[in-house]
Amino acid sequence: MMLQILAEPWPWYIAGPAIGLMVPLLLFVLNKSFGVSSSLKHLCAMCSVSNARFFKYDWKKETWNLMFVFGVFLGAVLVAKYVPSESLVGISDATAEKLSGMGITDFTGLMPEQLFSFSHMLNPATLISVVLGGFFVGFGTRYAGGCTSGHAIMGLSQFSLGSLVAVIGFFIGGLFVSWIILPSILSLI
Amino acid sequence: MKHIYALLLGVLFGGILVKAEVVSWFRIQEMFWFQSFHMYGIIGSAIAVGALSIWIMKRFGAKSINGDFINPSPKPLHKKANLFGGIIFGLGWALTGACPGPLYALVGSGYGIMLVAILSAMLGVVAYGHLKDKLPH
């Protein structure tokens, strides 16, 4: 019964408050602010990939953050193994229709195989989505000082003005890609 | 011990991200096209719960389990960096369909190709580390 409930995709009013609870849990257990993207910097510092001053700090003090993101990976592994969702991702019909019109035919899984699989790795659409997109995620989050967790959730929970500016930026960038750029990218598939 | 706690909290967070479909590229495009309330409901209610918990913890002088007062410092305001960096991250968010948490969760969900996205994100961090002093903040 319990597993059956877990196997269903969660509605927003369960998932959102559950994510919000990460804020007090991290504060209470570790006295740390909720955030994910700085882990990318600690990974760079840990692997000594650059000698820039930006990476000269004691990353070992941030091990908790690396453990946290390793946990995120592990949590997804456990869900996939024990309580996978069997249905398609519950997007609206309008979104499915719009994506079909742009050439997406496979709606199984969490992301379209046509775009996100090693067999399409050298397709320009995949390179743009994965390689360029990933680069922007790393560069942008360090420049802005946080991501959806650190700015949108932790920052806005503290009514931080900088976080509000950053979140407005997230949407300027995201809307530009989804409305203006995405149709051209998908036409490359 | 605290590293074990961090790991367990991460497991919880990763599990929620997958079950809520927040890790789905389809959901991210749907959000930016304003075709569903799902992602807005999640982010909005997460902020509401986060803000309320911080207010309560401060109001009652709550201490963490190691005995220190809970008083998270707010992120500093750097208008230009917040805006320009935010826009660049937004481009990446819509292109990959994933923010940093989901990147790790997608690898765990079997999308090995997102390891390439994580390596590329690290390259982006290195690029920022080298250009930092030349960029407006």
Question: What pLDDT is attached to residue A151?
Answer: 97
Question: What pLDDT is attached to residue A85?
Answer: 87
The pLDDT of residue B80 is above 90: yes
Nearest to A94 by CA among B38, B41, B117, B100: B38
**Helix, coil or strand: residue B69:** strand
Put simply, whether B37 touches A (Cβ < 8 Å) is: yes
Q: How far is A38 from chain B (nearest CA, A)?
A: 9
Put simply, whether A65 touches B (Cβ < 8 Å) is: yes
Query: pLDDT band at residue B40, thresholds of 50, 70 and 90?
Result: very high
Q: Which amino acid is at A66?
A: L
Question: What pLDDT is attached to residue A2?
Answer: 65
Put simply, whether B115 touches A (Cβ < 8 Å) is: no
Measured CA to CA, the distance from residue B90 to residue A99 in angstroms comes to 20
Measured CA to CA, the distance from residue A152 to residue A160 in angstroms comes to 10
Chain A nearest-CA residue for B44:
A16
Q: Which residues of A touch B11 (CB under 8 A)?
A: 71-72, 74-75, 78
**Cβ proximity of A175 and A167 under 8 Å:** no
Q: What is the residue-wise DSSP string for A5-64?
A: HHHSPPPHHHHHHHHHTHHHHHHHHH-----STHHHHHHHHHTT---SGGG-S-GGGGHH
Output the CA–CA distances (angstroms, integers) from residue A14 to A20, A150, A180, B54, in the order listed: 10, 20, 33, 20
Measured CA to CA, the distance from residue A141 to residue B128 in angstroms comes to 10
Question: What pLDDT is attached to residue A167?
Answer: 98
Mean pLDDT computed over B80-96: 98
Q: Which residues contact B36 (CB under 8 A, 6 or more apart)?
A: A91, A92, A95, B27, B30
Question: What pLDDT is attached to residue A86?
Answer: 83
Tell me the mean pLDDT per 10 residues along chain A, length 189.
74 97 98 97 95 95 97 97 91 97 95 96 97 98 97 97 98 98 96
Mutation site, B45, B66, B75, B99, interface A, largest A CB count within 10 A: B75
Q: Return the structure tokens found at B37.
A: 């309330």
The closest CB to that of B70, out of A27, A47, A169, belongs to: A27
Nearest to A98 by CA among B42, B34, B41: B34
pLDDT tens figures, B115-137? 999 999 999 999 999 999 999 99
Cα dihedral B98, A77, A145, A115, rounded to 10, equals -20
Question: What pLDDT is attached to residue A6?
Answer: 74
Provide φ and ψ at B36, rounded to 5°: -155, 155
Cα dihedral A111, A113, A119, A120, rounded to 10, equals -80
Question: What pLDDT is attached to residue A1?
Answer: 58
Measured CA to CA, the distance from residue B43 to residue A121 in angstroms comes to 31
